[in-house]
Structure 1
Amino acid sequence: CQLGDEELVDWQDHTFIRLDKQKKGPGERGAPLTDADRSPSCYTGYGYNYCASDRISVTRSVNDIRHPECATEKYLRKLPTVSVIFPFYNEHLQTLLRSVHSIVNRSPKELLKEVLLVDDTSQYPNLHGPLDEYIQKEFTKVRVIRAQKREGLIRARLLGAREAKGEVLIFLDSHIEANYNWLPPLLDPIARDWKTVTCPMIDVVDTDHFGYRQQDLGARGAFDWAFNYKRLPRLRSDQKTPTKPFENPVMAGGLFAIHKEWFWKLGGYDPGLEVWGGEQYEISFKIWQCGGRILDAPCSRVGHVFKKFNSAGGAFNLLKNYKRVAEVWMDEYKPFLYKGLGAGGLDVGDLTEQHALREQLQCKPFKWFLKNVAFDLEKYYPSVPPQSFAKGPITSLGCDKCLQGEKFSMHPQIRPSLVRCQTNPVPGSQQMHLGWKREIRIANEDWGCLDLAGHVGASVLLYGCHSAGSTQQWKYDLDKKQIVHHDTRACLEVNSDCQLVRTARCDDTSAFQQWDFAWKNETAIRKLWNYSGSIFDVIS
């Protein structure tokens, strides 16, 4: 197959994939360890279940969860070489080695120039001598770079980038597993345009049992005005070609490929950013505003362990990083961020070099980014959020008690409860909002939203607030006092003993389906009930 003078070829190692899928043992083919020990000690120091990880081979096979058409995709024969950079600090050794093996084993040898492990002054003994001995014995293209002092994730990446010899830099976290043929889909767009940056689809390696599963079919990265990472739906035009790369306003974080010359032309990361946090916004904004673009590559998939906790960084450093990014790249929109963060008066240090870089590269204004790249951000995450339809405690008229929620965690089995109405309930919250996205959120979006992803009669859960689909959308019937779920048309109900909050078929005579908000915008609520247009038309 020819593309002009460039030949397109099948880069897959079919023999390796076939043999890999024949492996047997714990966790092979991405299977979960259902009998894994989940005692608290198995998570200490790592934020994931290292007891499960220890039982799985460092060269385990994964389940091929790519779109079926990815198996027939062809890419340019002439692709650039890569340096894969793994920063790590006190990582679990078995998990780190599995990350490295997955890259070495599932990358075409002629494309993989090197793998660089950047040790940010780890304290665990097995990450020194034993790690060095293992690498010397098992690998020829892997080397360790050790920082002289604690640098943090961002500057550790810079340290690795300065040492890199490949034409393209690929930054990855140190607790990942690459899927089959992950590399060519990332490199092909860069080979065609050196200012293109590519990201893989990020799958999930389960924190508890290390099962490998697909997260979803992809979405476009975004943010709200407190710099919480959010996602926008893929465009309909992109959905028609599920294997083709699509434009992404903001990358998710530390998994991406960039031409080395383009990375340094952009100044790399701002070295004034501390530890971690905000760097994905800085690199994303400067890529787009300074003449490049970001693409997500659906046929490149990398599994990632999402930790239960990450104690590094701290709130002060995070706020400082956010404000440094905003001061340089967000122009007249930065006050909206500062209002959401409460960071307006924070001193973030000298930004002379960052402003000079923007001027030198003649980068576009942030308004251009919002209009041309993240053009639907305001629709989903407006800089000035509309007022809630209703807010305050929600009282069950059948039980004379209030709905109360706990803060959402990564375990989505937390249910709202019904308790005695209180002014300042502890440890949960009775402060509810029927928000402008039709969600019922607890306290604020960080706490979570009422979610019903099941059938009529299913229990209502607390889940992270999102805008994907309509499982978290509700309406309030002022006359019948009923809270109605968008998807199922079922009503929010409490059972007769006033304990379980669930949904049921709407019954106008049941007091257990009647609720009242402490405050309501009755005019907006009535307009919303039968309205299907823009939510802003209802609010205004």
Structure 2
Amino acid sequence: MRRKQKRLLQAVGLALAALVFLPNVGLWALYRERQPEGGPGGAAAGGEAQGSHVRKRKEVYFDDGQRKKDWHDKEAIRRDLECTGNGEQGKPYPMTDAEQVDQAYRENGFNIFVSDKISLNRSLPDIRHPNCNNKLYLEKLPNTSVIIPFHNEGWSSLLRTVHSILNRSPPELIAEIVLVDDFSDREHLKKRLEDYMAQFPNVRILRTKKREGLIRTRMLGASVAIGDVITFLDSHCEANVNWLPPLLDRIARNRKTIVCPMIDVIDHDHFGYETQAGDAMRGAFDWEMYYKRIPIPPELQKPDSSDPFESPVMAGGLFAVDRKWFWELGGYDAGLEIWGGEQYEISFKVWMCGGRMEDIPCSRVGHIYRKYVPYKVPTGVSLARIRNIGTGLCADTKHGTLGSPLRLETCVKGRGEAAWNNIQVFTFSWREDIRPGDPQHTKKFCFDAISHSSPVTLYDCHGMKGNQLWRYRKDKTLYHPVSSSCMDCSESDRKIFMNTCNPSSPTQQWIFEHTNSTVLEKFNRNLDL
């Protein structure tokens, strides 16, 4: 009896030992698997090469079976931290009075004198959320074709864009960089650019045969892309630390995700690099279709603010998309001119077709926001310079303040596109009003008239037609349906006012220069003129 009890106790003891010991064997094996060789619990000798340690430490297995790694290039980051000089670490360049002259901005809309004095390989501050340093991304990521359209871009700003991509991207993830020249006429962008880029085997240059505008130029680049993913960037950007893997990781997990980096600001004067006000915010738009950035609602905020978050619409210029998914969406509407509005088209199609839009806080790219648009806009957009037939003078918004009357001034000639754009360009909008400025930089003032004899003033655009509704009639008069009168002017005091319509009066006849006839027809829709 005692012998049986003894055997029973031994069996129970062995069972208990197995329950305690065997699970820990499994945990120990898992621990060993996740340790770098040569590290704590590793089998490698302490003398193993340091490079191997770094490589092994980046590899981790997760429960979903997908292998991840740390994509940071620690050596490149260390080198950047040691850089000193003009603009290094993204610091503002100390400008002199001689470097702030108008000529510095005229060709590019930013200070090219300063840009030329900053290294093409300049270092940038790592202003990401600290948690980004510890994030791991899929070991197997798709490669990408980076599409960079440009038109008469500055030499140093274009090259700095390319260098920043090459310097801060894992080489195996860059299938190619495609520079698409939209009919530039500056000499430095011809053979000189081709000779320079010949040193980079994965950079190629395409050229349009006529001025196409941003959208069709992007489409040309996308049509020849060989990468799994298409990444669109502007030609005056600077990619920051580890910018690419966070974008490609999200697409690798869901090919119907379009991802955008955080867009930082490179100052157009001194080229200082800093985050946008408010930093991580969602894209949105108001009832007038103006793009805005708004705070993320508290209920949608992530516990870790460095994690990706959904956004209704993107800013438009900088994003990555699965190449096949881009064409499944139909690409861009090729009828879009120059730029502006394309971000809504893509964003709406993504949501309607079962995709998603995400902003990625751990991916950051700096962008120069121009002081003004420096290049000529070809025929085909809804822009006009409004010239009076009777006086030969042009409508002008030189004073351009709320409530100020519209006046006539000598038509600007030979003073550069900056002056022309600022005071004598107007936009016909789908709201059937007329606004100063080009579609991207138009002020929120509209031509406004309250009666058949009132002056024409600039007033806050309300989008409700009424006092701000205009028609351009076949007799070249600008008709105001609310007051049943036409825009008139006085050569003596250069005032613009409303008057009883008289098609035979030359001071009531206006020429709209540089305007797409199709846009004008849409502007006059639903009215037999």
TM-score, with normalisation over the residues of structure 1?
0.59
Farther off after superposition, 303-312 or 73-82? 303-312
Distance in 1 (CA, whole Å) between partners of 2:382 and 2:355 is 26
Distance in 2 of aligned mates of 1:47 and 1:57: 20
Deviations 1:307-346 (A, max 9, x none): 01115558972599xxxxxxxxxxxxxxxxxxx9852679
1:151/1:199 CA distance change after superposition, 3 Å: same
Q: How does 1:85-484 map to 2 (within 5 A)?
A: 85-137=147-199, 139-215=200-276, 216-236=278-298, 237-310=300-373, 311=375, 313=377, 317=381, 342-343=429-430
**Alignment partner of 1:5 out of 61, 65, 76:** 65
Query: Is the 8 Å Cα contact of residues 274 and 313 (structure 1) preserved in structure 2?
Result: no
Unaligned runs of 5+ in 2: 1-59, 385-426, 434-439, 442-453, 463-467, 469-529
Q: CA RMSD in A?
A: 2.8
Distance 2:455 2:329 in 1: 49
Partner deviation per Cα, 1:368-396 (whole Å, 9 max, x = no partner): xxxxxxxxxxxxxxxxxxxxxxxxxxxxx
State the shift of 1:77 in Å. Answer: 0.7
Whether the 8 Å CA contact 2:124–2:273 is kept in 1: the answer is yes
Question: Using the alignment, how far apart are the partners of 2:191 and 2:335 within structure 1?
Answer: 32
Conservation of the 8 A alpha-carbon contact between 1:275 and 1:312:
no
CA distance in 1, matches of 2:383, 2:280: 28
Residues in 2 aligned to 1:210 and 1:60: alpha-carbon distance in whole angstroms:
11
Identity %: 51
Does the aligned pair in 2 maintain the 1:113–1:166 contact within 8 Å? yes
Report the 3-state secondary structure (helix = DSSP H, G, I; strand = E; otherwise coil) of the residue aligned with 2:106. Answer: coil
Distance 1:425 1:147, change over 3 A: closer
Aligned partner of 1:283: which letter?
Answer: I
Letter aligned with residue 365 of structure 2: V
Measure, in 1, the Cα distance between the counterparts of 2:230 and 2:112: 29
Which AA in structure 1 matches 2:430? A
Partner of 2:78: 18
Deviations 1:234-256 (A, max 9, x none): 13232532111100101001100
Q: 1:172 to 1:3 in 2, by over 3 A?
A: farther
Letter in 2 for 1:14: K
Asked if the contact 2:69/2:137 (under 8 Å) is kept, the reply is yes
Question: For 1:201 and 1:314, how far apart are their aligned partners in 2?
Answer: 31
Moved segments of 4+, more than 4 Å = 311-316, 423-426
**1:10–1:318 Cα change, 3 Å:** farther
Q: Which residue of 2 aligns with 1:386?
A: none
Tell me if structure 1 keeps the 8 A contact 2:66–2:138: yes
Tell me how far apart the structure 2 counterparts of residues 51 and 209 of structure 1 sit (CA, whole Å): 10
Once residues 203 and 165 of structure 1 are traced to their aligned partners in structure 2, the CA distance between those partners, rounded to angstroms, is 28
Which structure: larger Rg?
Answer: 2
Inter-CA distance 262–15: structure 2 relative to 1 (3 Å threshold): same
CA distance in 2, matches of 1:292, 1:319: 34
Q: Which structure 1 segments of 5+ residues have no match?
A: 321-339, 347-408, 411-422, 436-443, 445-540
**With structure 2 as the length reference, what TM-score do the two structures score?**
0.61
Give the superposition deviation at 1:223. Answer: 1.1
**d(CA) in 2 for partners of 1:234 and 1:59?**
34
Give 3-state SS (helix, strand or coil) of 2:161's partner.
helix
CA distance in structure 1 between the aligned counterparts of 2:383 and 2:309, rounded to whole angstroms: 31
CA distance in 1, matches of 2:135, 2:71: 9
8 Å CA contact 2:283, 2:315 repeated in 1: yes
Cα distance in 1 between the residues matched to 2:103 and 2:119? 21
How many angstroms apart in 2 are the aligned matches of 1:277 and 1:188? 28
**C-alpha displacement of 1:105:** 0.7
Q: Is the 8 A contact 2:247 2:259 kept in 1?
A: yes
1:64 equivalenced with 2:121 (yes/no): no
Distance apart, 1:35 and its partner CA: 2.1
Amino acid at match of 2:323: K
- Cα distance in 2 for partners of 1:148, 1:315 equals 16
- 8 Å CA contact 1:52, 1:209 repeated in 2: yes
Contact 1:201–1:297, Cα closer than 8 Å, also in 2: yes
SS of the residue corresponding to residue 262 of structure 1 reads helix
| Cα separation, 2, equivalents of 1:224 and 1:70 | 32
Give aligned pairs, total: 339
* SS at 2:171 equivalent: coil
Q: Deviations over 1:446-489 (max 9, x none)?
A: xxxxxxxxxxxxxxxxxxxxxxxxxxxxxxxxxxxxxxxxxxxx
CA distance in 1, matches of 2:214, 2:249: 28
Give 1:20 shift.
Answer: 1.2
Secondary structure, aligned partner of 2:100: coil
Tell me, in whole angstroms, the C-alpha distance in 2 between the residues paired with 1:64 and 1:303: 11
Confirm or deny: 8 A CA contact 2:264 2:274 kept in the other structure: yes
Q: Is the 8 A contact 2:237 2:367 kept in 1?
A: yes
